Amino acid sequence: MAEGRIEREFVKTALALAARPEVDRLVYVSDTPLATSDLRGRPIKRKLVYAVTSEGLAQQLTNLKFSAVAIPPFGYSRVEKVRVAIVACQSEGLVKEGDTVLALAGHDRSLDTLVRICIGADDEEDRVQVNALDLPETHSAQVMEQVIHVALEVGAQGYEGHPVGTIFIVGDAPRVMEQSRQITLNPFQGMSESERNVMDPTIRDALKTFAVLDGAFVIREDGTVLAAGRYLQAGKNEARLPMGLGARHRSAAAMTAAIPAAIAVTVSQTTGTVRVFRDGEIALELRQSARRL
């Protein structure tokens, strides 16, 4: 009973803070919507965005004139739930650069975490902006954010203290598979699609482990990992890359030049720098602020 009262007071405090003029959005990360009594007398409906794990529930809330986004139903930590929800809100245009956002999250039906986020704050290691990539409509910003974040962790941490370089190819997977070949055992072979999605923290850990394999990862637009250990066979890329970039980067550039819907994310084994390639050229470059090797 005491715990229930504390949680109700916690939620009321979060709602009171969200009503302040300096707060632009309240992102409520839970599949249990607020009670009508919680909202009565509080002019925050226009600020409120529900982040739920069911497309159906998101549609129901939208029908009730609430803003709502759907996030994947994987076993995220509280901070990861907030992270994924914020990217979903950015994708839907519900938050924008410069907004101050409060995010309320928890575990199951219990809400116990309140996070304040300034959208656009200069914090590349903990939150990657993907808006600058001008993603094709087929691509998920949530998926790209997670792939780039994994790449940053691989570049910063390597594997068991050793530096690692790798390539992630996202999008138009059938053509990428046609223009590549398997050079080592595919660790994702035989797994169901629901068990090999990059939105799942377990699979992201597996990506970091399998980054030591030669070859590239091939990932579908929805985040499903099709293969690791692929040798990319696209032709030569005529774009001029910066001096010092080797075969890995040229392969990524060539693949994205040959397949416009494919986006390549590379990790430099030498420096840990993460580069994103589109249409054969570098679209984004993220250097490590502190490499932990």
What are the helix (H) ranges across the chain?
A: 2-18, 36-39, 55-63, 78-91, 141-157, 173-178, 201-210, 247-258
Residues 153 and 72 in one domain: no
281-286: strand order across its sheet: 180-182, 225-232, 216-219, 166-170, 263-267, 274-278, 281-286
Residues 165 and 198 in one domain: yes
Residues 91 and 164 in one domain: no
Q: CA-to-CA distance for 168 and 17, rounded, in angstroms?
A: 41
CA 76 to chain centroid, in Å, comes to 12
Phi and psi, residue 100, nearest 5° = -100, 120
Is there a domain that residue 197 lies in?
yes
Closest by CA to 166, choosing from 50, 111, 247, is 247
Q: What is the CATH number of the domain that holds 98?
A: 3.40.1380.20
Question: DSSP letters along 168-193, please?
Answer: EEES-HHHHHHTEEE-S--TTTT--G
Q: CA-to-CA distance for 237 and 254, rounded, in angstroms?
A: 4
Residues 103 and 139 in one domain: no
Residues 185 and 95 in one domain: no
Of 69, 96, 118, the last residue of a domain is 118
pLDDT on residue 138: 87
Q: CA-to-CA distance for 119 and 98, rounded, in angstroms?
A: 5
In the chain, the number of structural domains is 2
Residues 255 and 220 in one domain: yes
Write out the chain's pLDDT in tens, 293 residues: 455 788 888 888 999 999 999 999 999 999 999 888 888 878 888 999 999 999 999 999 999 999 999 988 887 888 888 988 998 898 888 998 889 999 999 887 788 899 999 987 655 444 455 666 778 888 988 899 899 989 989 998 888 888 999 999 999 999 999 999 999 999 999 999 989 999 999 999 999 999 999 999 999 999 999 999 999 997 776 667 888 788 899 999 999 999 999 999 999 999 999 999 999 999 988 887 666 66
How far, CA to CA in Å, does 237 sit from each of 38, 53, 180, 245, 256? 58, 41, 16, 13, 9
**Domain extent for 211:** 131-286
Supply 223's token pair. 């985040």
- pTM (2 d.p.): 0.74
Q: What is the CATH number of the domain that holds 148?
A: 3.40.1700.10
Residues 218 and 93 in one domain: no
Instruction: Classify residue 252 by burial, with Cβ atoms within 10 Å: 0-12, 13-18, 19+.
Output: buried
Residues 75 and 141 in one domain: no
pLDDT on residue 91: 81
pLDDT on residue 125: 43
Residues 100 and 138 in one domain: no
Q: CA-to-CA distance for 131 and 103, rounded, in angstroms?
A: 20
Q: Is the Cβ–Cβ distance between 138 and 91 less than 8 Å?
A: no
Q: Is the Cβ–Cβ distance between 161 and 293 less than 8 Å?
A: yes
Eight-state DSSP code of residue 76: -
3-class DSSP state for residue 152? helix
Q: Is the Cβ–Cβ distance between 153 and 274 less than 8 Å?
A: no
